[in-house]
């Protein structure tokens, strides 16, 4: 039997690129577990990345994110595209919940080998979403997905984070949830490239759409030359409005490519990723200095009032160089 630690990276990446859902799942697990082979995986995938259109999907609980994902997956499959879905729940510290979620979401597309669906919990780690999600995205991208949907519950920071990860950010709203006001508060208005008012068969859908349009018209977004986010109404359960959403996504991608914005966003995203990995590395290196080393000496001086924490931090940074 093989040890759990041994991973044949070249063959795994090869299988993933040939369309093995099992190999893709394995690679995402390596990311989640920060497996030692991760470096090698990322190096092997790098030349194959940059193809996928990454679409972020965010909204409050209950607006219909899963249903909308499912609707979009079907539409993308009708175009014969390979699709990845990454469902990130930043509020859940339990990976078990994510697994359950997988099964429920799978239902519609479980037997389609061209659809990879994966739930990730951020497991309560600070920076968990920021760190693992971009790498999981790269796996799906490198495995040949044409589109990757990243779905996340809109809680505070996560909309902003998802907007940093996605080429196109879709903000999902529903009538009668006070979403308009929430949107303004949480900065959703600034991050959304496409707004979707789901459950549009309910009372108040037109009012919600109007409110969002009005707010967009008041913001910087209304300036000429900038992308003016469309507001689309859907009933995702009945696949109503799916063509309009797809058209809005195509249009946004085209607009970004024309302006060089797609590349700019991707460079920005890569910068965040590189920065996060570099900080993680520096943090680990400081840890090495900890036991009986420089950090402990400095900390002792601070605890004894012989040095302030800033002066000590200066010395620590100098010691890393």
Is residue 201 close enough to count as binding a copy of itself by CB under 8 A? no
**Closest by CA position to 44, among listed 7, 2, 12:** 12
Count residues contacting a copy of itself (CB under 8 A)? 59
Is residue 20 close enough to count as binding a copy of itself by CB under 8 A? no
Q: From CA 189, how far away is CA 306, in angstroms rounded?
A: 49
Q: From CA 231, how far away is CA 248, in angstroms rounded?
A: 9
Q: Which is nearer to a copy of itself, 71 or 137 (CB)?
A: 137
**Burial (0-12, 13-18, 19+ Cβ within 10 Å), 48:** middle
3-state secondary structure of 5: coil
Is residue 138 close enough to count as binding a copy of itself by CB under 8 A? yes
Overall size of the chain counted in residues: 321
> Shortest gap between Cβ of 118 and a copy of itself (angstroms)?
19
**Burial (0-12, 13-18, 19+ Cβ within 10 Å), 212:** buried
> Shortest gap between Cβ of 267 and a copy of itself (angstroms)?
5
Contact flags string 269-288 toward a copy of itself, x per CB under 8 A? xxx-xxx-xxx-xxx--x--
> Shortest gap between Cβ of 128 and a copy of itself (angstroms)?
11
**At which residue do the structure tokens 């590395």 appear?**
281
148-187: contacts with a copy of itself (CB under 8 A): 156-157
**Burial (0-12, 13-18, 19+ Cβ within 10 Å), 79:** exposed
103-132: contacts with a copy of itself (CB under 8 A): 124, 126-127
Q: Which is nearer to a copy of itself, 221 or 294 (CB)?
A: 294
Is residue 310 close enough to count as binding a copy of itself by CB under 8 A? yes
**At which residue do the structure tokens 């589109």 appear?**
147
Contacts to a copy of itself by CB under 8 A: 38-39, 42-43, 45-50, 93, 124, 126-127, 134-135, 138, 156-157, 263, 266-271, 273-275, 277-279, 281-283, 286, 290, 295-296, 298-300, 302-314, 316-317, 320-321
């Amino acid at each position: 039997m093989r040890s759990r630690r041994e991973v044949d990276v070249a063959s795994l990446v090869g299988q993933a690129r040939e369309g093995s859902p099992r190999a893709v799942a394995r690679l995402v697990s390596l990311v989640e577990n920060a497996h030692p082979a991760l470096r090698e995986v990322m190096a092997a995938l790098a030349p194959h990345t940059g193809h996928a259109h990454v679409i972020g999907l965010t909204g409050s609980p209950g607006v219909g994110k899963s249903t909308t994902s499912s609707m979009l997956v079907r539409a993308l499959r009708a175009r014969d595209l390979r699709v990845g879905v990454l469902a990130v729940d930043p509020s859940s510290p339990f990976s078990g919940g994510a697994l359950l979620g997988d099964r429920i979401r799978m239902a519609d597309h479980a037997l389609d080998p061209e659809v990879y669906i994966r739930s990730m919990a951020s497991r309560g780690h600070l920076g968990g979403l920021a760190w693992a999600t971009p790498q999981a995205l790269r796996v799906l991208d490198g495995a040949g997905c044409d589109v990757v949907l990243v779905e996340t519950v809109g809680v505070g920071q996560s909309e902003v984070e998802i907007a940093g990860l996605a080429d196109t950010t879709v903000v999902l709203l529903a009538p009668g949830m006070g979403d308009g006001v929430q949107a303004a508060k949480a900065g959703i208005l600034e991050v959304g490239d496409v707004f979707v008012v789901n459950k549009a068969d309910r009372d108040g859908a037109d009012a919600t759409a109007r409110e969002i349009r009005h707010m967009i018209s008041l913001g910087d977004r209304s300036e000429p030359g900038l992308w003016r986010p469309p507001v689309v109404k859907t009933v995702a359960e009945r696949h109503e409005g799916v063509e309009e959403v797809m058209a809005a996504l195509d249009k946004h991608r085209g607009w970004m490519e024309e302006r060089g914005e797609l590349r700019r966003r991707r460079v920005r995203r890569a910068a965040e990723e590189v920065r996060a990995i570099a900080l993680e590395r520096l943090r680990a290196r400081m840890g090495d200095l900890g036991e009986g080393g420089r950090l402990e000496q400095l900390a002792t001086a601070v605890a004894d009032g012989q040095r302030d924490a800033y002066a000590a931090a200066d010395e620590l940074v100098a010691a890393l160089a």
